[in-house]
Amino acid sequence: MTDHRHHPVPILIETDLCDDVDDAGALAVAHALADEDRVRILGIGINTSGHWSHSAARVLNGYYGRPELPVGILHPTTDAIGPEDYARAISRMHPSAATPDRMPPAVDVLRAALADADDGSVTLVSIGYFGNLVALLDSPADASAPLAGRELVRAKVARTVVMGGVFGRRARPERGAEPVSETNFVHDVGQTARFLGEWPGSIDFVGWETAADVITGRTLPLTQGDDSPVAIAYALHSGKGTGRPSWDLLAVMLSASELEGHIAWSEPGTVAVDDIARTLWTASAGGDHRYAKVVSSAEQVADIIDDHLGRPPRQPVGSISASVSEVEAWS
Phi-psi region of 318 (alpha: psi -120 to 50; beta: other; left: phi over 0): left
pLDDT tens digit string along 129-188? Answer: 999 999 999 999 999 999 999 999 999 999 999 999 999 999 899 999 999 999 999 999
Contacting residues for 72 by C-beta, under 8 A, at least 6 apart: 43, 44, 45, 46, 103, 104, 105, 106, 107, 108, 109, 110, 132
What's the whole-model pTM score?
Answer: 0.93
pLDDT digits (tens, 9 = 90+) for 76-129: 999 988 777 899 999 999 999 998 889 999 999 999 999 999 999 999 999 999
Rounded Cα distance between 221 and 227, Å, is: 8
